[in-house]
Structure 1
């Protein structure tokens, strides 16, 4: 099983950060790569479309509003992995918040290093975009 992880510290309260990212269908609100997110199955499934037209379908596996975390799996995507499970978490850090995005998966047709590099880049880029919502 391969893993990837990234975190970023944001100068806003955990509640403010969770307000923006805590909804499972809220990716277009903070992740510029995602143009559309449509909820299905009572909010447990999200159909994403990226700005380049790629379709990704993800399923909510666990949600803890009080703990400010949720986990999801990939149902359909063009990524070279299987058994994907990722977690997005917001924690208090001094006067701000630390957001961690991590995942585990099985590479399919690519090396472990290539799969880990792909998702580390996705997580780092996504968290950098998130941080931009709290700049200034």
Structure 2
């Protein structure tokens, strides 16, 4: 299975004077497996280290009563993300600390039943601080979804 589609562009709703360059990047991959089976592997908040080739490790920590994950990337960079919401086969999170040239980064990661299998979505909304920020986020999503696809190759 290949990554089937991606959309990117400017998020029109919610734009304000403070955030005139709000961007949205979304990618997804379809898998021939049940959504619950896939989510059992990819859904835990720290599981990203198991399927994303750029993430060397992920550690869950509690900070001020909120669940966070510390990501150590393969290039030794560090990212801190906070879990915002969790539902069946879906979670939302925000980047708290990152070397990426973005601010106000919020993302949704989800898995839904789709055409005899499932579709894994990854959507990010953020303010780019660099002209290449959208492409960087696109690449992160593509690598991650390709890692998920490879994890379920039969």
Pair in the same fold by TM > 0.5: yes
Q: Which runs of 5+ in 1 are unaligned?
A: none
Tell which structure's C-alpha radius of gyration is larger: 2
What is the CA distance between 1:94 and its match in structure 2? Answer: 1.7
Task: Name the structure 1 match of 2:72.
Answer: 49
Contact between 2:53 and 2:143, CA under 8 Å: does it hold in 1?
A: no
Contact between 2:31 and 2:152, CA under 8 Å: does it hold in 1?
A: yes
Structure 1 Cα separation of the partners of residues 133 and 54 of structure 2? 19
- 1:34-53 Cα shifts (integer Å, max 9, x gaps): 11111111771000101111
Q: Cα RMSD over matched residues?
A: 1.2
Contact between 1:27 and 1:34, CA under 8 Å: does it hold in 2?
A: yes
What is the CA distance between 1:32 and its match in structure 2? Answer: 2.1
Structure 2 Cα separation of the partners of residues 40 and 19 of structure 1? 20
Q: 1:101 aligns with which of 110, 122, 125?
A: 122
What is the CA distance between 1:84 and its match in structure 2? Answer: 0.2
Q: Which has the higher contact order (CA 8 A, sep 6+)?
A: 1
Contact between 1:24 and 1:43, CA under 8 Å: does it hold in 2?
A: no
- Normalising by structure 1, we get a TM-score of 0.92
Gap change, CA 1:91 and 1:78, over 3 Å in 2: same
- Normalising by structure 2, we get a TM-score of 0.81
Q: Which runs of 5+ in 2 are unaligned?
A: 1-21
Q: How many aligned positions are there? A: 131
More helix by share: 1
Name segments (4+ residues, structure 1) moved above 6 Å. none
| Residue pairs, 1:1-136, within 5 angstroms | 1-41=22-62, 44-65=67-88, 68-108=89-129, 110-111=130-131, 114-136=132-154
SS at match of 2:148: helix
Contact between 1:28 and 1:37, CA under 8 Å: does it hold in 2?
A: yes
SS at match of 2:122: strand
